Chains A and B, each alone.
Chain A
Amino acid sequence: MHQIIEALQFSFFQRALAMGLVLAVVFALLGNFVVLRKESVVGHSIANILFLGIALGTFLQWNISLTATLVAMAGMALITLLQRMSVYSHDSILSFVEQMTMAGAIIILSVTPGYQNIEGFLFGNILAISNQDLWVGSVMACVTILLFFMFKKKLIQMVISPDLARSRGMNIEAVEFIFRFMLIISIAFAIKIVGVILIGAFLVIPTNAVKSIATSFAHMMLGSVLVAISGVILGLFTSYLLNIPSGASIIGALGIILMVLNFGPRVNRMHKKIS
């Protein structure tokens, strides 16, 4: 217990916890739509493209967040263009774009003078969150949450039936663009804490943890936020106590919550039947 109190006294941990909680809310809300659109791999693809932007920003000594966001926007535009060409399958496009951008990022970082540590970007590092990160991240999270609630109705219509939404005059492409933009800026600020490799899981586990037990859409949204917050709190304290990468411990905690919520009741029922 005293180690938990001790952790809370460190400013780096306070920053990581605050940033983690803000991101938990954003990721859980957006994750609902990522899962329902069956685009679970999109989060991972965006993270990889952002990683290329981070590498490029580091190499050129430009503003890293801005460079990463612009590169990710360009990358998503490229994915959309390739999809419309209908030459390659959707999963192939995502797969080769994310692998190519990851390869590009590693090459750029390996030739960047004085830069050796990419582990933090890959798996998350709670020490990496600066005051500036926290403030900028919080502002961007507020913008994302605001956009989310402004477009919530349209997002739900798009998820349920794009055809029905189009027949009501909705510009699906515009709503999709806004949704992707929200994903990009959220992931851009979550990479430091969760890491490129694990960010996709942070996006989809909270929703999947509650989807099968929720009785309404509102319950699913609320439930996923609570799961994400619990995962961040558990994960960050575990990361501090065991000295392991924060991304891995957050995803580990979320995985355990998913299993408890989904398989716990079934195991309990089976146990009752047997006894």
Chain B
Amino acid sequence: MENNPRQSLVEFHNVSLTNGGRTIVHNVNFSIAEGERIAIIGLNGSGKTTLLRLMLGIIKPTEGVIHRHLKKMGYVPQHFEFDRTIPLTVWELLKHFSDQPKSEVEKKLKEVGALHLIHQSIGGLSGGEMQRVLIANALLQHSELLVLDEATSALDVSGEKDFYCLLEDLRKAYNLAVVMVTHDLHLLEHHADRVFCMDQALCECGTPTEIENSKTFERLFGAHILKHSPNKNTNS
């Protein structure tokens, strides 16, 4: 575990999760400080999403302890699965998930560029629009930590760039800590302070540069993946 001068929001102490005899997460230790940007990378099935679900309290660890020193966490899942035939507007969704007045809901939707969606049915929103609404929801709850699970997987290159810009603006404005599971390895340098490399256990933890030069990264993703990435030099 690293020593952070800033206040710790979430701490994992020897956290493991097994299901049906299969180890999904093994003996993970880390802490996340306020305002920090964490990227979680790893191959499919390496336990990244499970780690997020443990962090959010959706599932409980079979071993170890998770300390949360914060009141609210915002969550933007990879696939927000719901019955698309629900006649529920964006305003109704945000009203029921937060106790904020309409003026505040409008303000937050405006900040995430989704004010025009306020009276639309949530069933008709695209993946990108739904993400913005969920981020507005996190802001309305005064979340100190925003947890994103492969948030850009459904976005094109332009949408991805806009999304990261928005995230950075909001992070600075609200002093949000951001934890995101991502496969955008080429963007780690610009959008993460620390990178957690998962392979059931937390097998590597460090700055983006440290991780990119590590043997674990090479073993998991190959040595040339970043060098050959067309977006490597894109400062999005």
Contacts and interface: CB of A to CB of B under 8 A. Distances in A.
B226 to A, nearest CB: 32
B77 A164 contact: yes
Contacts, number: 62
Interface string B24-63: 0000000000000000000000000000010011100000
A153 B87 contact: no
B57 A167 contact: yes
A161 B58 contact: no
A163 interface: yes
B153 to A, nearest CB: 17
A159 B57 contact: no
Given A168-B141, A216-B88, A161 B82 contact: yes
Given A164-B75, A167-B75, A215 B97 contact: no
B51 to A, nearest CB: 14
A129 to B, nearest CB: 34
Given A163-B75, A167-B58, A168-B72, A36 B92 contact: no
Nearest to B52: A167
B56 A161 contact: no
Interface string A211-225: 110111111100000
Contact of A211 (B53, B85, B93, B96): B85
A216 B75 contact: no
Given A160-B86, A164-B75, A218 B56 contact: no
Given A166-B58, A167-B75, A168-B72, A157 B87 contact: no
Given A160-B93, A164-B97, A212-B85, A169 B77 contact: no
B89 interface: yes
B92 A216 contact: yes
Contacts of A216: 87-89, 92
Tell me what chain A mostly uses at the interface: helix, strand, loop, or mixed: helix
Contacts of B72: 168
| Residue of A169, A214, A217 with most chain B CB atoms under a 10 A cut-off | A217
A215 B96 contact: no
A218 B73 CA distance: 28
B2 interface: no
Nearest to B76: A164
Nearest to A170: B57
Contact of B83 (A36, A157, A214): A36
A36 B86 CA distance: 7
Q: How large is the interface on B (under 10, 10 to 19, 20 to 34, 35 or more residues)?
A: 20 to 34
Contact of B81 (A161, A169, A211, A219): A161
A215 B87 contact: yes
Interface residues of A, number: 23
B121 interface: yes
A2 interface: no
A273 interface: no
Interface string B74-111: 01010011110111110011001100000000000000
A164 B56 CA distance: 9
Nearest to A162: B58
Contact of A166 (B57, B88, B121): B57
Contacts of A214: 87
A224 to B, nearest CB: 11
A18 interface: no
A160 B87 contact: no
Nearest to A215: B87
Contacts of A217: 86-89, 92
A38 interface: yes
Contacts of B97: 157, 164, 168
B96 A156 contact: yes
B167 to A, nearest CB: 18
Contacts of B141: 168
Interface in A210-250: 211-212, 214-220
B83 A38 contact: yes
Interface in B103-135: 121-122, 134
11 contacts: A36-B86, A161-B82, A163-B56, A163-B75, A163-B77, A164-B77, A166-B57, A167-B57, A167-B58, A167-B75, A168-B97
Interface of B: 53, 56-58, 72-73, 75, 77, 80-83, 85-89, 92-93, 96-97, 121-122, 134, 141, 147
Given A153-B96, A159-B86, 13 more contacts: A161-B80, A161-B82, A164-B134, A166-B57, A167-B57, A167-B58, A168-B72, A168-B97, A211-B85, A215-B89, A216-B88, A217-B86, A217-B88
Top-7 shortest CB links A-B: A167-B56, A214-B87, A167-B75, A166-B58, A156-B96, A217-B88, A217-B92
